[in-house]
Amino acid sequence: MQSYRDVFAVESSEEYERRHRNMCSGGKREIAVHVVLGNRRARVDHARWLIDCGCGSGAIIDTDLDTPVARCFECGAVHHGIEIPPRSERREIEAVLDARGDDRLRHWIPPETIADLRAENTRHGV
C-alpha cells in the first residue's frame, strides 16, 4: 500500500501539512487552504487511502493520525470527519489487497467486506 509519505515523498504528518500548504501557495496560482468538515467516505484506489473531494479530485488520507485527515492539492481543502474503518480493519483490508501484487489492482470501496475482497482474490487466482 502507498501512503501520503510515498506519494509526496515526506516523512511525517507535519511535513505532509507543510507540503500541502507550500504547493497551494506556490506556482502559477494561489489556492486558499481551507478546512472542510463533513462525512467523506474513505476508499482505496490504486493502493492509496483517499476520499473524493468536492472539487472532483482525490485527496490522499493521512492515516497516521488518530483522527485521519485528507488534503486536496487541487482546491486546498483539508478534510476532517472522514468515515474510515478502524485501524485494525484497515490493516486487514490492506493485507488482502497487498496479496494482489499490483497497485493497479488494489481497490476497496465501501460497503465491500473483507470476505468480499478475499472472494475477489480467489476468483482471480490470488
CA–CA–CA angle 30, 2, 46 (5° rounding): 85
Distance of CA 33 to the CA centre of its chain: 18
Cβ-in-10-Å burial (0-12, 13-18, 19+) of 115 comes to exposed
All three cell numbers of 17, joined, read 501539512
Rounded Cα distance, 7 and 25, in Å: 19
Q: Which of 21-30, 59-68, 113-122 comes out lowest in average pLDDT?
A: 21-30
Question: Of the given ranges (13-22, 26-35, 73-82, 114-123), which has the lowest mean pLDDT?
Answer: 26-35
Please state, in angstroms and as integers, the Cα–Cα distance from residue 58 to each residue in 30, 46, 61, 80, 113, following that order: 19, 11, 9, 14, 22
Cα separation of 77 and 60, whole Å? Answer: 11
Encode pLDDT of 30-82 as tens digits. Answer: 899 999 998 899 999 999 999 999 999 999 999 988 889 999 999 999 999 99
Q: How many independent structural domains does the chain possess?
A: 1
- Report how far residue 126's alpha carbon sits from residue 123's, in angstroms, rounded to the nearest whole number: 8
Q: Which structural domain, as residue segments, surrounds residue 20?
A: 4-123
